[in-house]
Structure 1
């Protein structure tokens, strides 16, 4: 098998943007996607998440994003991605779940089961959906009810009429409460007091991205961009607000088989615990490259891994938002080209990418 100029892992928004720009630059590459169909993480979202509910979907290069509306996001966005792949002839191979990436001299070897690809550079665009985070609290393994994470949220129907404890201080928790409070008994708990804003401004977005960029520049684990912009109630959450759903309580002391015990010793019966506690970057397959800094994160210079400039990360840290992912795709492709300009294209032959 020939040596590739680059290989992209993941065909979500960041991966498709990167592939588009790699193709435009004339770089030989493939995109490996773990899913059986186009759509990235969007195809796995809950049915009640509509295009009006999402925090905006940024355009892909030469591909305008679908507008807001009542249609389910898990149908609209995958259809858009599929059309984009076809229209631009992107070299996506699926389903291919990458197990590990290793270094072989100046080259990188990407393994998926018994299949192998050899490449001069790598762009990791695996996002976070494959790695849900659930914190551990005393007694949670004894809970006799139903425990769900955001990625398992079944929608309102199965939870109607139940006592639901929503854990987490992000936008997903706010949306879940907005849907569930009118039809279920809900309690909201967070580790920190929520910060509410009247509206999101471009200045807040810039400041949030800058804060996350500074963390990854220092090699610290990234924070969510949304997590540092504050929370905002939309019109569709007004009924839940009137019902008191956003009266937050501090974290419970422990979980018991049929509920939670608060720090003051009082007990609250619970049938469902919904962990809206976020995700972590899905980068375990890169462990063999030794990219992590002493601070526990992957230090980046733009999208380039400082520990190994052959590797670009998009959809990580500041590019984990839809707008950031698209911009990062172009930056990663340009960085790949710059790296190849000064390295061998084939054994024993030194020539630059034109």
Structure 2
């Protein structure tokens, strides 16, 4: 019997483990990856953070300096050093197939056997649950999702349709305009952020909203910041005229391309937790005491799925674990 098991060894799981230790609780972290880095191990080759390293920190340990916007390799190295610094008990690769409530604790079925815990923190993220909307019609080419985008090389000299009006859509479309004929489909005009700011503006806005919600105040809503951070390649592609938005199609029959890349986001990866969640309202809610969700984006709170923004939610979950264990 464990006091607390954290499912997921990425930024949300590590941040929660940090605050659990400060509360005097040593969690067991179960991670289904072969090494540190979680979802960052699977991003496309050219993907970077859209804020500087100095504004991309987990609690207790700043990210090392990087000139420009850090690539995934820098983030993975940081998460590995974070694990080493705090010496968390991380078991990997361990896949959790189901979670159930026994009446006084949680039973986990895993790839290394059954486990039991008084409390569980779910920090499984979203990367393994890519989302694409239903669109009628048929497309004869190859369909991709940004979660599996392999970089620009396979698309050289082809026609590519990219769908999505936020950062991933703009980044992938901008990159591909150098090697392919790109049509960038969006449901509305791109909402560009100011050219002279980076992602910290989004994080500051999310932090403002998160603090209000944690105080029990109404959500003040997002500020007029825009959706797309003007990373150097996006800025250059837009200003050169290569990156232009086209209104979204209403049928796949209208898409004339060799490849179609959906940059339409993700859903919380909560399949193994279905038996202990109530999703009838559209937002998953734990059915029993002692289960906490951390790092799933808006279902948890503004900024919760980011390195910088996950801290307050991790701290709140750790406090909830401690209170329940004390009771």
Does 2:222 align with 1:193? no
Q: Are residue 183 (structure 1) and residue 168 (structure 2) matched?
A: no
1:200-222 CA distance string (max 9 Å, x none) = 6867545446668999999xxxx
5+ unaligned residues in a row in structure 2: which ranges? 217-221
Whether the aligned pair in 2 keeps the contact of 1:216 and 1:297 (CA below 8 Å) is no
Q: Check conservation: 1:181, 1:245, Cα contact below 8 A.
A: yes
For residues 110-125 of structure 1, the aligned pairs below 5 Å read 110-113=108-111, 115-125=113-123
Matches of 2:86 and 2:314 in 1, distance apart? Answer: 15
State the 1:231 CA deviation. Answer: 2.2
- Per the TM alignment, residue 309 of structure 1 is displaced from its structure 2 partner at its CA by 3.1
Query: 1:5 is matched with which residue: 3, 6, 9?
Result: 3
Q: Which residue of 2 aligns with 1:163?
A: 159
What value does the CA root-mean-square deviation take over the aligned residues? 3.0
1:55-86 CA distance string (max 9 Å, x none): 76622233211334469733222222222212
Matches within 5 A, 1:156-305: 156-198=152-194, 199=197, 205-208=203-206, 229-256=226-253, 261=254, 269-292=256-279, 294-299=280-285, 305=286
When residues 315 and 157 of structure 1 are mapped into structure 2, their CA distance, relative to the original with a 3 A threshold, is: same
1:26-83 CA-partner distances (Å, limit 9, x unpaired): 22420000111111101111111245x5676622233211334469733222222222
Secondary structure of 1:64's partner? coil
- CA offsets 1:210-258 (integer angstroms, 9 cap, x no match): 668999999xxxxxx89985223233223311343443222213224xx
Does the C-alpha gap of structure 1 residues 73 and 127 become closer, same or farther in structure 2, counting only changes over 3 Å?
Answer: same
**1:49 matches 2:47:** yes
Change (3 A) 1:186 1:197: same
- Bigger radius of gyration: 1
Rounded to whole Å, the distance in 2 between the matches of 1:169 and 1:133 is: 14
Aligned length: 314
Q: Which moved more, 1:147-156 or 1:81-90?
A: 81-90
Q: Partner of 1:116: helix, strand, or coil?
A: strand
Select between 209-218 and 16-25 the one with higher mean Cα deviation.
Answer: 209-218
Length-normalised TM-score, structure 1: 0.79
Aligned to 1:107: 105
CA distance in 2, matches of 1:107, 1:216: 27
Question: Gaps spanning 5+ residues in structure 1: where?
Answer: 219-224, 262-267, 300-304, 343-354
Contact 2:205 2:223 in 1 (8 A): no
Name the CA distance, whole Å, in 1 between partners of 2:231 and 2:147.
Answer: 22
Q: Is the 8 A contact 1:58 1:326 kept in 2?
A: no
SS in 2 for 1:329: helix
Q: State the match for 2:219 in structure 1.
A: none
1:67 aligns with 2:32: no
1:221 is aligned to none
